[in-house]
Each structure stands twice: as structure tokens, then as C-alpha cells.
Amino acid sequence: MARLLLLLLLLCSAPVLAQVAARHYTSACASCHLPGIHGAPRVGDTAEWERRLRSGFNLLYRNTIEGVPNTAMLPLGGASLSEAELRAVVDYMIAASAPSATALAEAARYDRLGITDRDFIRQDRNHDGMLSRTELAHDPVLAQNLARFDVDGDDSLNEREYLQAEAVLTRERAAVKAEDAVIDAAVRKALSGVKGIDFQYAGAEVRDGTVILKGIVSHAVLALQAGDAVKRIAGIRRIENRLVSGDQMGWD
């Protein structure tokens, strides 16, 4: 509720709060967020900010403070600002994009669920705090093992169940003995099924069971999809996703 009141205050142009946040935004964030380049949501694009708000305020703050893997969003936005100052800048950008009261309330509702795992949030497409069979359809191995990890028997996974499933399936994957050449072939086959990956610019390397995804993809979403595509391959001990989003370099 306090966060909603702060946003309403900013929307009403509270002089001191808005002016300080505006200065920090101009100096540290406007170069990407004003024109909406390098994958950054453009300030003023209501629909895009409402879409991102569906995963809650807290994830937006975390993305700003911790950075976003495979994108141009560096920790602390690459700026010399405190975490509190960066949160205020995020609030300023949200307010300047004029989201609806419904979108703000939904963001606050999702935060109250207390979900923190990025992959869980990304897969929770209807933002109900559960992963249904439909939402797990892209991950056949986990979907087939749903009953095994569905402790409360509701035919879906909450965050705790999901994290347990990931931990167990990762251990089981690493326990399988496989030659690098076999893993490499499986990885290449899996990546070939990810629409949009151009092997001229991106690929994978396998070293002693560690898979290193590297190169350039057109959008950060493809980097995540590449990681999803290979993470169930038996024999992989560890995955390093070093894929870089081409939009951060103006590459199309």
C-alpha cells in the first residue's frame, strides 16, 4: 500500500520526490529508457510498463539493482546511485508511464505472494503464483515429473515445489555419465529447435560436462530460451549462459 501511495504521489507531481528522481533518471537512465533502446522499456509506453508490472514492483527493483543477465542492464544500472535512489527512479519511470490503478494493484498483489525466483516468475504467465501443466508444457521433462514434485497434490507447482524439482532434476542430469561429444550433439540439436537462433552468431562449447552458451542473439528472450532448451540434457554438469542480447549493441 505504501508503494501505491508513493506512485500516486509521483503521478500527482509531488515536487521534491519527483524532481530528485527526475534528475537521477536524466543522468543515469534516460539514455536508454527515453528512446527505448537496447531492450529497455521506453518511459511513456504504458502498455509495456503494465506488462512488466504484472510480475510485481520487486522484480523491477531487483532488475535495476542486480542487473539482468544477457542484457545491457548492468547492476545498479551502471550508475553511482544508492539502492534507495534507484528504487525512486524506477517509481518515477513507472509514474511517468501512467499505468492504470488496476495494473498498480496487480503488481502489489503479486509482490504479496513473496515469489523471488526469476525463472519461476518468468514461467508464471498468468501470474497466479503457480505453475500449471499448461505453463510447463515447454519443459516436457518437468511436466512429466509434475506428480513427483507436486507435494500438495493440486496438479501444479508452487515456488517451493518448483525449486525442489529443479534441484533434483539438476542433480540427476549431472549424475549421468556422457562424453562431451555426445552432449555437444544433443546441445546442438536442442538449440536448432529454438526459433531465431542464428548459428552464424551463436553457439555452444562443451568442456568436461560444462556447457557454455556464447555469442549473440537478437533478443534476451532467446538467450533464456536457449538455456531452457538445453538444461534437461543428461550428462551436463553445469551450464554457463554467456549469450549476449544483440539489441544492446544496436544489432538486428
How confident is the model over 44-101, as pLDDT tens digits?
999 999 999 999 999 999 998 898 777 777 787 777 888 888 898 999 899 889 999 9
CB atoms within 10 A of CB 101: 11
Q: Give the Cα separation of 125 and 61 in Å (integer).
A: 20
CB atoms within 10 A of CB 151: 11
- E-strand spans in the chain? 131-132, 156-157, 202-207, 210-217, 238-241, 244-245
Report pLDDT digits (tens) over 173-228.
Answer: 999 999 999 999 999 999 999 999 999 999 999 999 999 999 999 888 899 999 99
Can you name the CATH fold of 2-112? Answer: Cytochrome Bc1 Complex; Chain D, domain 2 (1.10.760)
- Residues β-bridged to residue 100: none
Q: 33 falls in which pLDDT band (50, 70, 90)?
A: confident
Is the confidence at residue 13, as pLDDT, over 50?
A: no
Ramachandran assignment for 209, one of left (phi > 0), alpha (psi -120 to 50 degrees), beta (any other) = left
- Residue 178: φ, ψ to 5°: -150, 140
Where in the sequence of the chain do the CATH 1.10.238.10 domains occur? 118-174
Can you name the CATH fold of 118-174? Answer: Recoverin; domain 1 (1.10.238)
- Pick one of 1.10.3720.10, 3.40.640.10, 3.30.1340.30, 3.40.50.150 as the CATH number of 176-249: 3.30.1340.30
